[in-house]
Amino acid sequence: MSYFIEALKKYAVFSGRARRKEYWMFALFAGIIAVVLLVIGVVIKFPYLAVIFYLAILLPGVGVSVRRLHDTGRSGWWLFFGIIPIAGPITLLVFTCTDSAPGANAYGPNPKEVGGIPAHA
């Protein structure tokens, strides 16, 4: 849950890098919260709760996605590739599943490395 909160704190940060764990934990908790809100919305006959939630986390989601692409050595502009049917989302899925580019890149130091020593957490 701390990764989700951390991504919300950096809601408009489009620079730097985000580890795979940060990106996927954000996606996991966003999905869980959306499903819970959808169920609650159906029970109270207001199914738009999940939509409102997704609109609220749109900017943090784009931010963590851009930082994830930076971690793989790619520009954040690759997110626009996702609008291409079938090939776009699959390509972005592969990019977000790819391991970090080793060492520092044009977007900053590797978040896996602490003081030049790889972290194993």
- 83-116 pLDDT, tens per residue? 999 999 999 999 999 999 888 999 999 988 865 5
- Residue 115 inside a domain? The answer is no
Contact yes or no for 71/100 (Cβ under 8 A): yes
The number of folded domains in the chain is 1
Residue range of the domain that includes 71: 2-107
Cα separations (Å) of 89 from 16, 41, 77, 92? 23, 28, 14, 5
- Residue 96 inside a domain? The answer is yes
- Residue 119 inside a domain? The answer is no
Q: What are phi and psi of 117, to 5 degrees?
A: -105, 125
Mean pLDDT of 50-76: 95
- Residue 121 inside a domain? The answer is no
- Residue 116 inside a domain? The answer is no
- Residue 7 inside a domain? The answer is yes
Residues 6+ apart with CB under 8 A from 33: 53
- Residue 99 inside a domain? The answer is yes
- Residue 91 inside a domain? The answer is yes
